[in-house]
Amino acid sequence: MTINRVENINLQENNNLNRRIERAVDFAKILEGYEKNEVKFSGHALERLRARNINLSDDDISKINMAVRKLKEKGGKESLIICNNIAFLTSIKNNTVITAIDSESIKENVFTNIDSAIII
């Protein structure tokens, strides 16, 4: 075996190890979010936030997390959270915001399949 081939094998092993470490770190970040019980936003909700130019502050996220905890304590499963004139349809059991509706679109809207609501 030549020195170049040994070096290539070592380089490949290092790259594989680095990829495994990166995946473990990413997974640890995901677990950290679950441990903190922070609300997640579905892809659909993120798309709606972007499309409707809705920007949430850290304070807004904290309020939504607090609302989800309260709704969970009261037995809510599928809830409407209204924060700063924005409606968030939220799966309490999955800790996930399903969609977001801005103040312009909220008028004359009918919300179905919810069992609870909170205004914060």
Instruction: Kindly state whether residues 104 and 51 are assigned to the same domain.
Output: yes
Segment 31-85, tens digit of pLDDT: 555 556 689 999 999 999 999 989 999 899 999 999 999 999 999 999 999 999 9
Instruction: Kindly state whether residues 13 and 63 are assigned to the same domain.
Output: no
pLDDT of 92 strictly over 60: yes
Question: 114 CB contacts (<8 Å, ≥6 apart)?
Answer: 78, 79, 80, 89
Instruction: Kindly state whether residues 96 and 76 are assigned to the same domain.
Output: yes
Number of domains the chain is built from? 2
**Token representation of residue 2:** 């030549």
Does residue 38 or residue 4 have the better pLDDT? 38
Instruction: Kindly state whether residues 44 and 11 are assigned to the same domain.
Output: no
Instruction: Kindly state whether residues 49 and 62 are assigned to the same domain.
Output: yes
Domain range spanning residue 56? 39-119
| The residue count for the chain | 120
Terminal CA-CA length for the chain: 69
Residue of 84, 79, 86 whose CA lies nearest to 112: 79
Q: Phi and psi dihedrals of 7, rounded to 5?
A: -65, -40
CA distance 22 to 11: 16
Instruction: Kindly state whether residues 28 and 47 are assigned to the same domain.
Output: no
Q: What separation in angstroms does the CA of 115 have from each of 63, 79, 91?
A: 20, 6, 10
